[in-house]
Amino acid sequence: MPSRDGIPLSDAEIERLAAKVVAHLRPMLEREIRRVAQDTWTLLPAKIRNRVQAEQADAAEFGMETMTPAEVANRLKISRWTVYRMMRDGELGSVKIGKTLRVPLKDLRRLLGLIS
C-alpha cells in the first residue's frame, strides 16, 4: 500500500496524486504522439503517401469535404461501429474513395438537423 513517511495514503489522496501526475505528463505525451504520427507518415512508402494525397485531392476537386467514420464517431461521441451501422442503414450517407469509406460533411449536417 502506498504511504507517505510510513503513513498509509487514503484512496482520495492516491487519486489526487495520480491526477497531478497525469496533468504533468499529458503535454509531453501529446507531443510524443504527434511526433510518432509524423514519423509514421514519413516512413510510409511514397506510393501509399501519394495515393492518400491523390484521394484527398480528388475529394477536394469535387467540392466534397469528408470525414472518416472514426472522425465522425469521435465528434459525435459514439462508437465507430454505430457510425458504420448508420451508414449501412442509410441514416448517414457515405462515399467510397479508393478503398476507404468517407462521410460527406453535408450528410453529417443533414443528420444533425443543421440543414434540410
**pLDDT, tens digit, 9 for 90 and up, residues 12-52:** 888 888 888 888 888 888 888 888 878 777 777 777 777 77
Considering the domain architecture, whether residues 112 and 57 belong to the same structural domain is answered as yes
Considering the domain architecture, whether residues 6 and 57 belong to the same structural domain is answered as no
Predicted local distance difference test score (pLDDT) of residue 82: 93
pLDDT 10s digits, 70-113: 999 988 899 999 999 999 999 999 988 778 888 988 888 888 88
Considering the domain architecture, whether residues 62 and 95 belong to the same structural domain is answered as yes
Angstrom distance (rounded) from CA 47 to CA 102: 21
Considering the domain architecture, whether residues 57 and 25 belong to the same structural domain is answered as no
- Whether this prediction's pTM lies above 0.85 is answered by no
Domain of 106, in residue numbers: 52-116
pLDDT tier, 69 (very low <50, low <70, confident <90, very high otherwise)? very high
Q: What is the dihedral of CA 86, 92, 94, 100, to 10 degrees?
A: -40
The cell 477536394 sits on which residue? 60
The count of domains in the chain is 2
Considering the domain architecture, whether residues 20 and 73 belong to the same structural domain is answered as no
Angstrom distance (rounded) from CA 8 to CA 41: 47
**pLDDT at position 2 over 80:** no
